[in-house]
Amino acid sequence: MLALTLLIFPADGRAAGNDNRLSIFVDCHCSDPVGGDFCSDVKDKVKDSMAYRLVEKPDAYGIGVHLWCVDLFTGLPGVASKLTGTMSAVSVAFTIYADKLPGEVYEDSSVFRVGKDATDEMSQRIVAAIGQLATANKTVFEHIRATPKPMATPTQQVIQ
């Protein structure tokens, strides 16, 4: 009977109501192949994490990871044909967001290069950076989680 219940209600569905994992919004602007692979790796690692859940848009509160990538060698005379598609220049900006804030709050940023054979390693470093930011902002997130949302009060309007 337990096995049947587990098959009918998948783990994601059971945990959805009490999921305490921190929301991570990964926003990618990567048009080159290496940058695209890197962004996909970051999303996959966040998805596979036990501490985080990947969200499609910023929700109640969490960390935003904003990636911009460009092929490092496109347009360079003499090397473009040999090296295009082998390395990406990546800019990442980390933000904290919450529905109680007027927008996302800047936390940190970095610019680095990612080679096509290093997307896995570099995406793991991004997830490690998310962990550092989550730890540094743990008190803030706990306060947001513990503060009850104000209940919406119905507005009465007189119809004339």
Contact partners, residue 20, CB within 8 Å, separation at least 6: 145
Strands 61-71 and 87-98, sheet pairing = antiparallel
For residue 16, pLDDT beyond 80: no
Confidence of residue 160 (pLDDT cuts 50, 70, 90): low
pTM of structure: 0.79
The domains of the chain, with CATH numbers, are: 20-138 (3.40.50.10610)
Burial label for 106, CB within 10 Å (0-12, 13-18, 19+), is exposed
Q: Is the pLDDT of residue 57 over 70?
A: yes
Residue-level pLDDT at 38: 98
For residues 97 and 58, the answer to whether their CB atoms sit within 8 Å is: yes
pLDDT at 145: 82
What pLDDT is stored for residue 79 in this prediction? 78
- Check residue 152 and give its pLDDT: 59
